[in-house]
A = this chain, B = another copy of it.
Amino acid sequence: MAAWETYLHKNKERFINELLDFLRIPSISALPAHAAEVQRAAQWVEKRMKDAGVESVRILPTGGHPVVYGEWLHAPGKPTVLIYGHFDTQPVDPLNLWDSPPFEPVIKDGRIYARGASDNKGNLFIPLTVVEAMLKTVGKLPLNLKFLFEGQEEIGSPQLQHLIAAHKDLFSCDMVFSADGGQWSEDHPGLVLGTRGLSAVFIDIQGPDHDLHSGTYGGAVANPIHALVQILDSLHDREGRIMVEGFYDKVRRLTAEEKAEMAEIPFQEAEFLREPGSVSVFGEPGFNTYERTWARPTLEINGIWGGFQGEGLKTVLPSTAHAKISCRLVADQDPAQIADLVVKHIHKVAPPGVKVTIDKGGGSFPYLIPPDHRGLGIAALVLKDLYGKEPYKIRSGGTIPANAMFLEHLKAYTVVFGFGLEDERLHSPNEFFRLSSFERGQKAYGILLERLGATG
């Protein structure tokens, strides 16, 4: 057993307690009122990185939520790898569906329950503990490392693009490894070749300038909820296809080989449905579930509200109605162009009698790594050794905006190397992370760093 591995075993309990501390910080990036907590999480990461022996550690201001940078660059001739992760979390509502408070982590049946446990604090912490283990035992790393941990992933990393572009030299590297990702299952590894991009559009509809009596005015002036459902319903056809003109134009079609690779990955509909708890699968005709979530774009209404939401009946003709929409994009869609197409569509179908206001959220490019990438190949071998099985070539339906940014500005591809699992209720109540994944992730990162270093 390598020295770093022994160290990890010896300090297991301390690492878990540190992770619990990290999880106690309610670093919800979407809520402006929590900005100081995101900053506090950055400070926690900064201190923890320094304690691990990482050098030049500092918090980089971005104009929004911060980024934490650190490096260890004493392996001349060896490759330089940038490790990426994020310390911000999703919001927690609906709070009443949590079995324990989201920022009071609880360990139960080998799982840590807390918001951010899997996405991404638990996964982010893994490579940090491995680096500490190597530096505190043999005093060096087998390669050059940089860390970029950010606090705005869950809101689409709006300032990260600019930060990376402005610090190309600081972040320059041969390849990126992202701790924000997952494995196929507890006993079968997977390699994420692609992530989807994101475009967001917010609709606000104003009817009357205050809520009206639906008897006095009902039938005589436009109801903004009616206008909203008319607009929203026009976005899909009955079978789930997106009806925004030009939406699919730039979508890269799956090759026959890619389709065949996906078809090899086992899929049981009943098992797939257990986690979401939906009554059936539903989606774009002509594609199966993997294709729908990995290689096809979506347009989802994430939230809708207007009028009376209380108990009983309030016969009101409401003043306003609102919706939040986001699209998951695939190669080679452009998030700004997609947002423009959606906005254009909404204006085209907006009915008379109301005022329609549209705002755009931040966008992220979709991402695909070439299947013959060197780092990807090494990662595949590490996983094969650890799990005893060839990793499936999978993709993530989610979005890691940083991946596309690293490619654009650093000319470096990102290998997703994380240990979350799909049932861990990311973005939902009762998010959790397996302690077994934490340990396996540590071992995987240790071997990975050694092999990346060994290949010069």
Residues of A near any B CB (own CB < 8 A): 30-32, 90-91, 93-94, 97, 155-156, 195-196, 198, 200, 207-223, 225-226, 228-230, 232-234, 236, 238, 240, 272-273, 276-284, 289, 292-293, 296-298, 300-318, 321-324, 326, 328, 351-355, 361-362, 396-399, 422, 425-430
Q: Are B223 and A277 in contact (CB under 8 A)?
A: no
Which of B31, B226, B281 is close to A311, meaning CB atoms less than 8 Å apart? B31
Q: 7 new A-B pairs (CB below 8 Å) besides A217-B276, A300-B315, A315-B427?
A: A219-B283, A220-B293, A230-B238, A302-B307, A303-B307, A313-B324, A316-B428
Return chain B residues, CB-CB under 8 Å to A32: 311-312
Q: Using CB atoms, name the residue of chain B closest to A213.
A: B427
**Pairs across A and B, CB under 8 Å, 26 listed:** A31-B310, A31-B311, A32-B312, A155-B312, A155-B313, A195-B215, A200-B315, A210-B276, A210-B277, A214-B298, A214-B326, A215-B293, A215-B396, A215-B398, A216-B397, A218-B298, A219-B292, A219-B298, A219-B328, A220-B272, A225-B301, A229-B304, A302-B307, A303-B306, A303-B307, A316-B428
Q: Is the CB of A215 within 8 A of B399?
A: yes
Residues of B within 8 Å of A298, CB to CB, are 214, 218-219
Q: Is the CB of A352 within 8 A of B282?
A: yes
Q: Are B397 and A218 in contact (CB under 8 A)?
A: yes
Task: Tell me how many chains of this kind the complex includes.
Answer: 2
Residues in B with CB closer than 8 Å to A282 are: 220-222, 351-353
Q: How far is the CB of A94 from chain B (nearest CB, A)?
A: 7
CB distance from A360 to the nearest CB of B (A): 11
A290 and B273 CA atoms in complex are apart in Å by 52
Question: Chain B nearest CB: distance from A280 CB in Å?
Answer: 5
Q: How far is the CA of A85 from the CA of B409 in the complex (A)?
A: 72
CA A39 to CA B56, docked complex, whole Å: 70
Assembled-state Cα–Cα distance A155/B311 (Å): 11
- Known: A209-B277, A308-B302. Contact between A284 and B219, CB under 8 A? yes
Q: Select which of B90, B272, B315 is within 8 A of A302 by beta carbon.
A: B315
Task: Output the least CB separation between A209 and chain B (Å).
Answer: 3
A300 CA / B223 CA spacing, docked (Å): 7
- In chain B, what residue has the closest Cβ to A284? B219
Q: Which residues from B are CB-within-8-Å of A311?
A: 30-32
A276 cross-chain contacts in B, Cβ below 8 A: 208-210, 212, 217, 221
For residue A304, which residues in chain B have a CB less than 8 angstroms away from its CB?
A: 225, 228-229, 304-307, 321
